[in-house]
Structure 1
Amino acid sequence: MARWNRLFSLPVLVTRYRAGKTATAAERAQARAMIAEWRERLADLSWFMRSLNEYLARRANEEDGCKGRFWEGRFKSQALLDEAAILTCMSYVDLNPVRAGLADTPEESEFTSIRQRIAELSASSNDPPKIEPEPERPRLMALETPAQDRHPNRFSFSTEDYLELVDWAGRAIREDKRGAIPGDLPPVLTRLGLNPEHYLRLVRRGGRSHHVAALGHVERLREAAARLGRRFLKGMDQSRRLYQVHG
């Protein structure tokens, strides 16, 4: 109840119930039912996204001096089953401003994690910073290879790997030749078994390529389907293309 009260104001009935001032059993039962519903909502991803989207929409409409619908649609939930899937999703999100034509390069993309990572690397070097760190940014999880970090959730790619990959993909996206793939493929693509052509197709095409239940190697999708008691998960064909590296 205290956590809910940090987000929303409590109705009079619940306030009285907390103070032990409810007069009847019916009032107490109603208050307990409301509290039980709040507990469920606090653990509900859909309710969290609804509340977050509503807050952002109100702020944006207030800044623009307008009314009406702000978001195009509801959120999508997609399981990321291995490191290559995480890498693909991270770079897809970080390249949103480049894909939309709002920035020419990843370091010019405002309000992205990759810009923050570049700023943090710049600040830790002896060279003059190329990007000033933005204040009050949340701390990002470090990207460290197994040789650098023994954490059980460690990645198989470093920050330098990630920056190289996103820079490479960003340059490919900005080129008008849709079939062109720049030379000098980032080594992380080979290490994680990602097909360069299909990887670029994913980060270029936006949300149209992400209407799948999960992203990861075919074997990971089969394991996830078995855990859920299903024969398959939507996304198998995409997985086969993404992880099929031609030698």
Structure 2
Amino acid sequence: MSVDVTPYYHCVSRCVRRSFLCGVNPLTEQNYEHRRDWIEQKIYALSQVYCIDICAYAIMSNHYHLVVHINRDKALALSNHEIIERWQQNHKLPVIIERWLSGQLASDTEKEACIAIIDSWRSRLWNLSWYMKELNFDIACQANREDECRGHFWESRFKSQALLDEQALIAAMAYVDLNPLRAGVAATPEASVFTSIRARLEALNHQQETAPCLHPFIDNLTNDKRDGIPFRLMDYIELVDWTARQYREGKACLNITSPPILQRLNINQSNWLKACSELEKHRSSAVGCIQDLRAVKNALNKKRIHLFRLDG
């Protein structure tokens, strides 16, 4: 991973056991549906601690998806006290930090040690691996206690794909939000529970500017200086709805007018539908347009990168 290449990533964690992460296990008939709420609440809680913005998520029966934005600039701009406030929400503070907060440190050596600890926390707050570790560890511990067993709960740390441009970002978000529909467990995007599209639509119904703990949409045609996803929310909702109709009708070619956002982003329509249904099926470590590939290979010092192309 390299934030200098792209701050956007699509992450997936899958359960290693035959027993379900969520839902009803057909073998034991035990209901694990409540675990979806565990994951959603943990995602929301960690978003208050880490400088990792959640663009999209979907919690399925044996895995979950995240599309995240690594906000390094936000972490670097936090004061030392703000770093401590965030870190102590999920962690017990070392004694030397508590003494530093109360002004009890007498030597420069102790003060330097405290600054070194705070700097390490600052680096972790925009580190995606630390975020995913804390998310998965907490869920694994709760599940093991409930199942009265030990051992691995997740098949690996997590898998990720770099999203190299705006086209890749919006395609990955739509792919994630349409996971329940594609799996046949929801008939419409708005009926897809435990997804970011459902959370955003519910926020709209309550006349909220954005869903709690989700990275907001901002119109990239305005002078809005806020952090956010550089699209209009209504364009994204229209795009997801249009893409969902393609799944339900099962058509290989397009026979309806595409939403304007596809034209503005110069996305090949066939590649768009392929990305929104097969993003994980291909051996791709990055998603984007071919024009980005050379710069990414140079930045990561790699001779070859498996790219899922979105352009023609």
1:156-207 deviations in Å (ceiling 9; x for gaps)? 64222211211122222234x4x53452242322221222222212221252
Higher helix share: 1
For 1:114 and 1:39, the matched residues in 2 are separated by: 31
Residue of structure 2 in register with 1:144 after alignment: 219
Paired residue for 2:162, among 74, 79, 93? 79
Q: In structure 1, what residue type is equivalent to 2:296?
A: A
Retained in 2: the 8 A contact 1:168–1:182? no
Paired residue for 2:194, among 111, 129, 152? 111
Show the 5 A alignment for 1:56-95.
56-60=139-143, 65=147, 67=149, 69-95=152-178
User: The residue matched to 1:79 in structure 2 has which SS?
Assistant: strand
Q: CA deviation at 1:95?
A: 0.9
Residues 114, 34 of structure 1: CA spacing in aligned structure 2 closer, same or farther, 3 A cutoff? Answer: closer
User: The residue matched to 2:281 in structure 1 has which SS?
Assistant: helix
Q: Is 1:200 paired with 2:273?
A: yes
Residue of structure 1 in register with 2:235 after alignment: 161
Q: CA deviation at 1:243?
A: 0.6
1:44-86 deviations in Å (ceiling 9; x for gaps)? 4322211111112334555x64545443433233322221111
Residue of structure 1 in register with 2:290 after alignment: 218
User: The residue matched to 1:215 in structure 2 has which SS?
Assistant: strand
Residue of structure 2 in register with 1:243 after alignment: 311
Residues 10, 161 of structure 1: CA spacing in aligned structure 2 closer, same or farther, 3 A cutoff? Answer: closer
Q: In structure 1, what residue type is equivalent to 2:252?
A: A
List gaps (5 residues or longer) in structure 2.
1-82
- TM-score, length-normalised on structure 2? 0.56
- TM-score, length-normalised on structure 1? 0.68
Retained in 1: the 8 A contact 2:180–2:186? yes
Residue of structure 2 in register with 1:129 after alignment: none
User: The residue matched to 2:202 in structure 1 has which SS?
Assistant: helix
Retained in 1: the 8 A contact 2:218–2:224? no
Q: Is 1:121 paired with 2:227?
A: no
Paired residue for 1:190, among 235, 249, 263? 263
For 2:297 and 2:203, the matched residues in 1 are separated by: 39
Residue of structure 2 in register with 1:127 after alignment: none
Retained in 1: the 8 A contact 2:181–2:188? yes
Retained in 2: the 8 A contact 1:108–1:115? yes
Retained in 2: the 8 A contact 1:164–1:186? no
Q: In structure 1, what residue type is equivalent to 2:278?
A: R
Retained in 2: the 8 A contact 1:222–1:232? no
Retained in 2: the 8 A contact 1:222–1:233? no
Q: In structure 2, what residue type is equivalent to 1:83?
A: E
Q: In structure 2, what residue type is equivalent to 1:104?
A: A
Residues 165, 234 of structure 1: CA spacing in aligned structure 2 closer, same or farther, 3 A cutoff? Answer: same
List gaps (5 residues or longer) in structure 1.
125-132
Residues 41, 200 of structure 1: CA spacing in aligned structure 2 closer, same or farther, 3 A cutoff? Answer: same
Residue of structure 2 in register with 1:227 after alignment: 299
User: The residue matched to 1:73 in structure 2 has which SS?
Assistant: coil
For 2:155 and 2:224, the matched residues in 1 are separated by: 38
Which entry has the higher C-alpha Rg, 1 or 2? Answer: 1
1:123-175 deviations in Å (ceiling 9; x for gaps)? 44xxxxxxxx8xx83254124251xx223677664222211211122222234
Higher strand share: 2
